[in-house]
Structure 1
Amino acid sequence: MRFVPAVIVDAVFVLIFAAIGRASHDENPLGFLLTAWPFLVALVVGHALAALVPARPRRPWSLGWGVIVWVVTVGGGMLLRIATGDTAETPFIIVASLVLAAMLLGWRLIALLTRRYRAPRVAD
């Protein structure tokens, strides 16, 4: 259950991504769930797969965990879009990949740097 906060943070970023994307195309931003749902489903799968990876330490806020979640979220989200009759044009795949990388990996990088700089220093 320790990965639930990371799932929530990631889900919020996916929702923000979908809302911004819809608004940038002059679409009704309130329909962002139509854009977000495939990525949210893939996000949950990504977290489940990351939890199964035997690497240690297994921390949902780590960059390694985040890379797995990001790749599965983008790839799975695109596959679900196509499977349900929606599109996945090349420019959308590129933008979604870059924006979701910045979001899903960005907060983890900030968490890593914050932890590193807040850790007590040992005197030589």
Structure 2
Amino acid sequence: MMQPANHRTGTIAIAAAVDAVLVVVFVSIGRSSHAEGLDLAGVAGTAWPFVAALAVGWIVARAWRHPLAIWPTGVVVWAVTVVGGMLLRALSGQGTQFAFIIVATLTLAAFLLGWRLIALLVTRPGRARTADASRTDPA
């Protein structure tokens, strides 16, 4: 079933915004845990490699087609964001220590895949019908 264009466009915009916000949250948590400032310039300087890689991930995954899907959309967006973000950090002279790569990979997986899992559970077809059916009195 096709969604109306305005509803679909809204879903795509929200999904892209959620991804971007979560990447910035990831960066902010990292900066805060290392006692680095959360000023706009500092956060932007740390976030840009991941935000740029996120945009590439959206293009590679063609995420606008199924922005809420965990597979393949979420997995591709996540993988490209991590790998591309690390490559851009290395090319720009920012750190890519092994521990950071592990933490970034796991945190971004939790964020970029986790919200899609929640969206799937909340919007799953049949969920409302199952809940309604369980409320009916058999007598």
**TM bracket, shorter-chain basis:** 0.7 to 0.9
| TM score, norm. by length of structure 1 | 0.87
1:67 paired residue number: 75
8 Å Cα contact 1:20-1:29 kept in structure 2: no
Q: For 1:62-114, what per-residue CA distance to the aligned partner results, in whole angstroms no more than 9, with x for missing partners? A: 10111000000000000000011111000000000001100000000001111
Q: For 1:18-73, what per-residue CA distance to the aligned partner results, in whole angstroms no more than 9, with x for missing partners? A: 11100100111221111110000000000011118xxxxx4111101110000000
Cα distance in 2 between the residues matched to 1:77 and 1:10: 14
Larger Rg over CA atoms: 2
Map 1:1-124; keep pairs closer than 5 Å: 2=9, 3-30=12-39, 31-51=42-62, 58-64=65-71, 65-116=73-124, 118-121=127-130
Percent identical: 53
Which stretches in structure 2 are left out of the alignment for 5+ residues?
1-7, 134-139
Cα distance in 2 between the residues matched to 1:119 and 1:36: 39
* RMSD, aligned CA: 1.9
Question: Relative CO higher for 1 or 2, CA cutoff 8 Å, sep ≥ 6?
Answer: 1
By how many angstroms is 1:119 displaced?
A: 4.3
For 2:48, give the aligned amino acid.
W
Which stretches in structure 1 are left out of the alignment for 5+ residues?
53-57
For 2:16, give the aligned amino acid.
V
State how many pairs are aligned: 118
